Amino acid sequence: MRDYIDEFLDAKAVEEGAALNTLRAYKNDIKQFLSSVIQQNVENITTEDIEQYLKELKETGNTPKTLSRKISCIREFFKFLQSENIIKESPANKLRTPKVGKSLPYFLTAKEIKKICAVAKSKKTFSFMRMHVMVKLMYSSGLRVSELVALPENAINYDMRQILICGKGSKERIVPVTKEVISDVLEYLEVRNKFIGNRKSSWMFPSEKSLSGHITRDGFFKSLKKLAAKAGISPEKVHPHILRHSFATRLVNNSADLRSIQKMLGHENIVTTEIYTHITTERLVDEVKKRHPLTQQQKENE
């Protein structure tokens, strides 16, 4: 069974260029599923076995979004087994995916971003200056946190004000960076070079503690929470991906072309990008409710 899982993950990595986090999620979901079924041979697993497993997941409080992800993983796994002639027919073909409502991502305002950056810049230590540049880069260019922490030192073209990003599935894209951020990066590089000293590092954001040689996602996550708290913003509502949401929301609110935003974010499907138009719509509805004279008159009559 373990060999089947390994072969499936290898196929996903090689043929589709699946990211490391995606492969880990696949592995965890498949192992959880296979450990729950009675049969020892994968050839004997039936549709009823899968449905019983999903029923148990639902009863233990798993959300439709989680169930949908697990169904997708199981479906892909059996599809692979069928393509390799390990099984004749996939028992997951007839599974129905639960409807998942779209949740609108929360975003930070420009004022809140400025507060976080101000706190980071007020400290002259390397770690704070590193965070200052990282927050600004993510907010101004919409990088994923995985792209940000592993950004090579030579990824920025300072004359063209562009960043070459190696995104999901090793797909490259170029995103613009503002003149102000370029200035911040150049100032940071002086501190960075002193920090690494005689050591060699190809990373824009090096770390002495990390085995990878650059700051980790977890390290950035914890530092961002601390900055938010110091800036008077609730740490519970601040996480790395929110900076990317804030970048996209700012562009949509300023009438940027949706296709351009899609390219900058590195979204495969524009449907993923369109969620930010819903944020704008919700905001407009709230503004009408708060400020339209007819709404105000109705409240007075009540």
Q: Of 70, 115, 136, 144, which is the active-site residue?
A: 144
Q: Which of 54, 242, 23 is nearest to 135 (CA)?
A: 242
244 tagged catalytic: yes
Q: Of 241, 259, 289, 292, which is the active-site residue?
A: 241
Angle between helices 240-253 and 110-122 (to 10 degrees): 130
| Span 281-302, pLDDT tens digits | 545 555 555 555 655 555 455 5
As a dihedral over the C-alpha atoms of residue 198, residue 199, residue 202, residue 203, rounded to 10 degrees, the angle is -110
168 tagged catalytic: yes
241 tagged catalytic: yes
Q: Which fold has domain 2-83?
A: DNA polymerase; domain 1 (1.10.150)
291 tagged catalytic: no
Angle, CA 163 vertex, CA 162 and CA 168 arms, to 5°: 140
267 tagged catalytic: yes
Q: Of 75, 168, 239, 278, which is the active-site residue?
A: 168
| Span 192-232, pLDDT tens digits | 999 998 888 999 999 988 888 999 988 999 999 999 999 99
| Span 89-147, pLDDT tens digits | 898 888 877 765 555 557 788 899 999 999 998 988 899 999 999 999 999 888 888 89
What are the structural domain ranges in the chain?
A: 2-83, 110-287
Identify the DSSP state of 214. B
Identify the DSSP state of 38. S
Q: Is 46 left (phi over 0), alpha (psi -120 to 50) or beta?
A: beta
Beta strands in 202-289 (DSSP E): none
DSSP codes, 223-268: HHHHHHHHTT--GGG--HHHHHHHHHHHHHHTT--HHHHHHHHT-S
Pick the CATH number of 110-287 from 1.20.58.410, 1.20.1290.10, 1.10.443.10, 3.30.2350.10: 1.10.443.10
239 tagged catalytic: no
Q: What is the pTM of this model?
A: 0.61
Tell me the C-alpha distance between 252 and 254, whole Å: 5
Distance of alpha carbon 39 from the chain centroid? 36
